[in-house]
């Protein structure tokens, strides 16, 4: 009997076969050699069954049938790949051992577990656990195959993640959809991502631009000319700014301070998938999905880069030799000059910016392989170029600069000058085009956004600190504060990756430190999903939330299940799933908690008022964009997953809410608590007020109180419980724990109630 090897994808299977059975016969859907039969899944061959697999009644979406809580989850084959599943089943009958060669990670483990379950495989299972598909790694991996039972806990965590997502997604989507008569897709990852976009757009819309004045002066000292920025509080008085400029113009000054220090800039981190997607979006405008598809082609089809669906920016000790060999290979490619200029000695096991095994969980950073690139398409070449240049940069020394900081004083006014003098480009020679000329490479985003701009020069810069200077020119320029920038796919990917960093709970923050919202492999699909269901649309590179997307977030938050819109739930889940994967927590207890949460969602949506259909209608600007999109082609957002028209495509005629209305807009948040009023609370720019204000109701809760911003969840707590949860207030003598309390339900007056000291 032979051993059956099951890889995750065809190209992976063939790559493995080339190492362990180089003379294997190719039978299209599998390869067979003397000892091994190598076959493959095609991603997920199986998935969790739809609700109607449990009961025919679930074919119709009916609120009264919720919640749907299967006692045991059923799995069903993917109809498009059922033939491959059948092939694996037939091959398994000829083998007495099985090797799980799916991706080394939670999802790869799950793909194999479902195949094993469906086909009722009883053979002993061994696990191939490697982080790349080099011949050396595959050979070593097969020499050190691990017992499949070692990964049972990881399988449990994978099942729990999948089934929990099903429970929340299926039930919440059906609840909100049937309640509001519009297809509303809800999910653990997609909903917090939509909330990120929504909140950013509200920040932009509610932004009040402030006009201020910046004073720039040109100084001369002999042949040296340099500029400086006036130092002081932000000037909003035009006349005062002009007076300062007039005061110093043409006057003599002195060097009050002059500091010079040497600085170094080290290469940027090696690419993980998210970082590669972000850079490709910024440089080429590629969507996250397009970059993933191109990288996957470079890996599977051309075999010129390592596994791209990685979340690591580092390598292990075992990769160092391969990196040196890849450097040598690149000497016979168009990268010859850069490769020959690299120093192999810099990339070693002690270089922690490259080699950090503790930061490599499933797969190492994306690297070029030893295969020379053949005929790559232009877009494939662009992605390969990014990977190669980033790789080569680590074989070069840091870029070196002299940082000059000058404070010039004229007529009692101080001006600051920052000059960055380039001494050596170092690794920046690997940057393409003008990037390595020093025009942009010396300035990070932070400096670009600072008022005190940094001037980058390549010629030596010197100032005589003891000689006088003359203010040759001074000018007050009008400026305006800028709103936050709308998300692009690149910046949204970064926000998804770092979503947990804003959580106050340290344990949850730690749990999400390496995870964020989604995984590198699923983030692109999440963004595409939001487009498909009509929640977001693209304006060039900018992502805009549609009216349907706005209303979806508002309804979820107002229903009292705002946890669905927060990364906090993912933090809770990731912490528990990690414990399950380590055998430190029970899968059953986790699933019971998820079921309780699912039931609570249904109960809260049950009591929610039905939203008016007009709240899902697109605004005029949005309709215009849809009509023009893709030369008149119907937008992908115009259809839901069931093929029905989404609410955004209903005939015009219903009253529409302005796309620029505040969070909640005319959407009622809660009944006014003032006795006998009968009005509804809605959200304004500065507070939450009553719709009956014209009839004399003065109830209002201001958004800012005692140094705290009253958020929608805090508002709900004040109205329902009369107080918020325990908050931390900063006092002159330290921190104080207290709650904000609704002191008067007729006016909305608030007060701070200090928490009682704990008794011993």
759: its two tokens: 């008794």
d(CA 427, CA 522): 32
d(CA 519, CA 525): 10
Tracing tokens 């920038």 back to the chain, one arrives at: 485
Contacts of 198 (CB under 8 A, 6+ apart): 545, 549, 550, 553
- Whole-angstrom CA distances from 95 to 35, 37, 152, 396 are 10, 8, 22, 50
CB 367 within 8 A of CB 315: yes
Query: Choosing from 307, 314, 487, 688, which is the catalytic residue?
Result: 307
Q: Which residues pair with 31 in a beta bridge?
A: 26, 38
480: its two tokens: 């305006």
Q: How many CB atoms lie within 10 A of CB 448?
A: 10
Q: Could you tell me how many residues make up the chain? A: 760
* Spatial CA neighbour of 161 closest among 128, 125, 187, 182: 187
What is the Rg, in whole angstroms, of the alpha carbon atoms belonging to the chain? 30
Helix (H) or strand (E) holding 289: helix 288-300
307 a catalytic residue? yes
Task: Provide the CB-side half-sphere exposure for 568 (13 A, CA).
Answer: 10
CA end-to-end distance (rounded Å), the chain: 70
Helix (H, G, I), strand (E, B) or coil at 403: strand
* Spatial CA neighbour of 420 closest among 442, 437, 447: 442
278: its two tokens: 């972000």
Contacts of 275 (CB under 8 A, 6+ apart): 269, 313
Give the DSSP letter of residue 287.
-
* Spatial CA neighbour of 572 closest among 518, 512, 496: 512
d(CA 289, CA 530): 13
Q: Work out the burial of residue 432: count CB atoms within 10 Å of its CB; fewer than 13 is exposed, 13-18 middle, 19 or more buried.
A: exposed
Where do the H-state alpha helices sit in 29-92? 82-92
Is the bond preceding 67 in cis, omega lying within 30 degrees of 0?
yes
CB 215 within 8 A of CB 452: no
Helix (H, G, I), strand (E, B) or coil at 729: strand
Q: Work out the burial of residue 25: count CB atoms within 10 Å of its CB; fewer than 13 is exposed, 13-18 middle, 19 or more buried.
A: exposed
Q: Sign of dihedral through CA atoms 637, 638, 640, 643? A: negative
* Spatial CA neighbour of 752 closest among 706, 688, 699: 706
Strands 95-101 and 125-127: parallel
Convert 694-704 to b/e letters by CB count within 10 Å (16 or more is b): eeebebbbebe
Question: Catalytic site residues?
Answer: 307
């Amino acid at each position: 009997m032979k051993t059956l090897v099951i890889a995750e994808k065809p190209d992976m299977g063939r790559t493995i076969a080339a190492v362990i059975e180089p003379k294997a016969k190719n039978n299209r859907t599998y390869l067979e050699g003397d000892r091994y039969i190598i076959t493959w899944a095609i991603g997920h061959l199986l998935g969790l069954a739809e609700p109607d697999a449990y009961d025919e009644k679930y074919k119709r979406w009916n609120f009264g049938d919720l919640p749907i809580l299967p006692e045991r989850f059923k799995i069903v084959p993917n109809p498009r790949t059922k033939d491959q599943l059948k092939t694996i089943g037939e091959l398994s009958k000829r083998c007495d051992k099985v090797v799980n060669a799916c991706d080394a990670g939670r999802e790869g483990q799950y793909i194999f577990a479902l195949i094993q379950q469906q086909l009722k495989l009883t053979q002993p299972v061994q696990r191939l656990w490697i982080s790349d598909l080099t011949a050396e790694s595959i050979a070593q991996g097969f020499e050190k195959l691990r017992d499949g039972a070692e990964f049972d806990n990881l399988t449990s965590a994978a099942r729990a993640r999948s089934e929990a997502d099903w429970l929340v997604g299926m039930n919440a989507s059906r609840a909100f959809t049937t309640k509001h008569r519009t297809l509303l897709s809800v999910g653990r990852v997609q909903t917090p991502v939509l909330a990120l976009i929504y909140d950013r757009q509200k920040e932009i819309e509610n932004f009040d631009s402030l006009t201020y004045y910046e004073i720039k002066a040109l100084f001369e000292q002999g042949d040296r000319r340099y500029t400086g920025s006036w130092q002081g509080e932000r000037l909003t008085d035009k006349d005062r700014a002009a007076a300062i400029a007039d005061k110093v113009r043409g006057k003599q000054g002195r060097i009050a301070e002059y500091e010079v220090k040497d600085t170094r800039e080290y290469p940027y981190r090696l690419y993980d998938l998210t970082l590669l997607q972000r850079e490709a979006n910024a440089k080429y405008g590629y969507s996250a999905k397009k970059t993933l598809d191109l990288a996957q082609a470079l890996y599977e089809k051309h075999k010129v880069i390592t596994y791209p669906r990685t979340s690591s920016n580092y390598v292990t000790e075992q990769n160092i030799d391969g990196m040196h060999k890849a450097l040598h290979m690149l000497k016979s490619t168009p990268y010859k000059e850069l490769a020959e200029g690299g120093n192999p000695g810099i990339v070693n096991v002690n270089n922690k910016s490259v080699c950090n095994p503790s930061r490599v969980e499933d797969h190492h950073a994306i690297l070029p392989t030893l295969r020379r690139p053949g005929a790559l398409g232009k877009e494939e070449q662009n992605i390969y170029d990014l990977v190669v240049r980033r790789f080569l940069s680590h074989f070069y020394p840091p870029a070196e600069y002299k940082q000059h900081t000058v404070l010039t004083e004229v007529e009692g006014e101080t001006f600051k000058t920052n000059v960055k003098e380039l001494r050596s480009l170092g690794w920046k020679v690997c940057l393409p085009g003008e990037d390595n000329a020093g025009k942009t490479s010396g300035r990070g985003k932070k400096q670009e956004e600072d008022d005190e701009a940094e001037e980058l020069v390549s010629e030596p810069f010197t100032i005589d600190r003891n000689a006088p200077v003359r203010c040759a020119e001074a000018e007050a320029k009008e400026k305006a504060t800028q709103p936050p920038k709308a998300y692009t796919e690149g910046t949204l990917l970064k926000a998804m990756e770092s979503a947990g960093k804003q959580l106050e709970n340290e344990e949850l923050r730690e749990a999400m430190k390496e995870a964020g919202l989604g995984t590198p492999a699923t983030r692109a699909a999440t963004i595409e999903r939001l487009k498909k269901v009509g929640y977001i649309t693209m304006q060039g590179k900018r992502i805009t939330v549609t009216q349907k997307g706005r209303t979806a977030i508002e309804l979820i938050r107002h229903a009292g299940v705002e946890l669905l819109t927060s990364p906090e739930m993912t933090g809770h889940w990731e912490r528990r799933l990690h414990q399950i994967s380590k055998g430190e927590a029970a899968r059953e207890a986790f699933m019971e908690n998820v079921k309780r949460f699912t039931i609570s969602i249904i109960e809260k949506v049950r009591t929610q008022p039905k939203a008016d259909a007009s709240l899902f209608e697109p605004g005029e600007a949005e309709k215009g964009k849809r009509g023009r999109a893709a030369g008149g082609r119907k937008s992908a957002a115009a259809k839901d997953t069931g093929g029905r028209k989404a609410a955004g495509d209903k005939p015009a005629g219903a009253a529409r809410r302005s796309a620029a209305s505040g969070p909640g807009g005319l959407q009622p948040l809660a009944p006014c608590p003032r006795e006998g009023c009968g009005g509804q609370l809605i959200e304004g720019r500065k507070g939450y007020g009553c719709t009956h204000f014209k009839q004399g109701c003065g109830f209002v809760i201001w958004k800012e109180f005692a140094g705290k911003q009253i958020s929608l969840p805090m508002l709900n707590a004040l109205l329902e419980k009369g107080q918020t949860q325990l908050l931390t207030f900063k006092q002159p003598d330290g921190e104080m724990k207290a709650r904000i309390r609704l002191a008067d339900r007729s006016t909305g007056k608030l007060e701070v109630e200090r928490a009682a000291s704990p008794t011993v």
